[in-house]
Structures are given as C-alpha cells and as structure tokens.
C-alpha cells in the first residue's frame, strides 16, 4: 500500500529541542552569575516567577500586542520587580545573557535523534515550522546537531505571521513542494500546531509530553517521540 505522507513538518521548541531543560539551566546560571542569591532565596523561586511572567508576555507577543524587544527585557525587569528590585540596566544585561546562552544549549527531547534518523531513513522529507526568534532557532538546530535533517525551515518572523495563521503553513507547504494531503504536522502546542495545521487540511499528531487534557478531540496523540517509529 502506498503510504499517505511524504512530508513531515515539526515544531521545534518543546517538540524536538528541550526548551524547559535548556531554559532552566540558563536561568540557574543567571541566578549565580548575576548574584541574585542576595535578593531571591532560591533559584527555583526566581525561575517560577520568570516563567509565569514570560508566559503571560508570550501571549501578548503572539497576539502582536508587544514587540520582540519589549518581551526580551520586560520579562526579566518584571521578574526582578517581584523581588522589589527596580533595575532596567540589570534586566537588559540578563536579557542579553539569556538570548546568547539559551540557544547554545543542546538538550533534546528523548528519542529526538533516533526518530529523525528513522524518519529520514524511511525517505520522509522533514521540515520545521516554528514561531521562535529567527536568530536563535538556527543556532539551536546547529548546536544540537539536528539541522541537517531538515529541508525547509519556516520561521514566523520571515513568514510575517505566527502559527496558527494559515499563511505560515501554506508558505511551508509551498517551499517544500508539498500538499496538505501528503503532509503531517507534529507539535506540542495544541492551539498553534494542531489547530493551525487542521485549519488548512493537514493531518496532525499532538505531542502531549506533559499529558495535558486537550481542549477538544484530537486526531492522534503521542506522549513520547519514540511512538512515531511505530506510527510512521
Ligand atoms: Mg512548541
């Protein structure tokens, strides 16, 4: 039987590149490097506050309500403010440190390399569609040595819109020479990846690493990337 898919589109952050692990490591380094222990009792407390604030700001960024630059310094400025420290110069320096070091971390989700090897070996064309910042996404793929697996990499900044906007998916399909019917999207973000792909008629696999309750019925779900080796 002829197989259905020829093109597999992956999200990058939290799907292949282990965003949580890599980010936590750099945040722990920041806590040490910038002497934050004088101010904040534990690194975990700093990380918890930062994450909550960063998530809220990312929602605004995704809705185009704040710019990338604002997101970058404000997330640290607001975090320091939770601990009664008002220091925008320090927030800027921490923001720069984070942007430099975080994409150079190389932790991948379990089985990333095995699965990419497997799919590549089976002749699937592999691609990336990501909402991450342009200057860091290529570094992440290079540093973690997975860039050679992908034919087409489409990033939201170049596309001009972010997932789940249909245009970014259409652009990726066009560049890859793919059609919705022979393509599959795999990602961890229900809204951006799964609904986005569904909207243009692409099949989707929801990578539910954190085992969250999906807000609506989904076509297919995996808890570990290794499951792809029996599905595809
Ligand atoms: Mg993701």
Rounded to whole angstroms, the Cα distance separating 71 from 207 reads 26
The rounded Å distance from CA 186 to ligand 1 centre is 9
The rounded Å distance from CA 193 to ligand 1 centre is 8
Domains 7-18+108-231 and 19-104 share a fold: no
The rounded Å distance from CA 143 to ligand 1 centre is 18
Residue pair 79/98 in contact (Cβ under 8 Å)? The answer is no
Reported pTM: 0.91
Q: Could you give the residue ranges of the DSSP H alpha helices within 87-214?
A: 88-101, 112-121, 134-143, 156-159, 166-176, 196-199
Tens digit of pLDDT for each residue in 24-76?
999 999 999 999 999 999 999 999 999 999 999 989 988 889 998 899 899 99
Domain at 7-18+108-231: CATH architecture: 3-Layer(aba) Sandwich (3.40)
The rounded Å distance from CA 17 to ligand 1 centre is 9
Tens digit of pLDDT for each residue in 168-227?
999 999 999 999 999 999 999 999 999 999 999 999 999 998 888 888 888 899 999 999
Rounded to whole angstroms, the Cα distance separating 204 from 188 reads 11
The rounded Å distance from CA 45 to ligand 1 centre is 24
| pLDDT score at 2 | 64
Cα 131 off chain centre by: 7
Fold that domain 19-104 belongs to in CATH = DNA polymerase; domain 1 (1.10.150)
Cα 143 off chain centre by: 15
Q: Domain spans of the chain?
A: 7-18+108-231, 19-104
The rounded Å distance from CA 100 to ligand 1 centre is 20
The rounded Å distance from CA 141 to ligand 1 centre is 14
To the nearest whole number, what is the mean pLDDT of the chain? 95
Strands of the sheet containing 221-222, edge to edge, are: 150-155, 125-130, 7-10, 183-187, 203-207, 221-222
Tens digit of pLDDT for each residue in 105-145?
999 999 999 999 999 999 999 999 999 888 899 999 999 99
Residue pair 74/57 in contact (Cβ under 8 Å)? The answer is yes
| pLDDT score at 170 | 98
């Amino acid at each position: 039987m002829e197989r259905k898919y020829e093109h597999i589109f992956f999200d990058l952050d939290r799907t292949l590149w282990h965003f949580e692990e890599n980010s936590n490591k750099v945040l722990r380094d920041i806590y040490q490097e910038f002497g934050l222990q004088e101010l904040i009792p534990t690194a975990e407390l700093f990380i918890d506050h930062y994450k909550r604030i960063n998530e809220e700001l990312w929602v605004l960024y995704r809705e185009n309500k704040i710019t990338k630059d604002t997101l970058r310094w404000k997330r640290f400025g607001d975090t320091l403010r939770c601990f009664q420290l008002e220091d925008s110069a320090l927030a800027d320096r921490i923001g720069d440190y984070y942007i430099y070091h975080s994409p150079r971390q190389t932790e991948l989700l379990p089985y990333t390399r095995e699965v990419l090897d497997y799919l590549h070996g089976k002749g699937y064309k592999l691609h990336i569609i990501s909402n991450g910042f342009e200057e860091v996404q290529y570094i992440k793929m290079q540093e973690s040595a997975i860039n050679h697996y992908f034919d087409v990499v489409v990033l939201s900044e170049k596309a001009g819109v972010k997932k789940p906007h249909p245009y970014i998916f259409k652009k990726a399909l066009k560049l890859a020479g793919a059609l919705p019917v022979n393509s599959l999207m795999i990602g961890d973000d229900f809204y951006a990846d799964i609904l986005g792909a569904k909207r243009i008629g692409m099949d989707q696999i929801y990578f539910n690493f954190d085992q969250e309750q999906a807000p609506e019925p989904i076509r297919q779900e995996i808890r570990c990337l290794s499951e792809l080796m029996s599905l595809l």
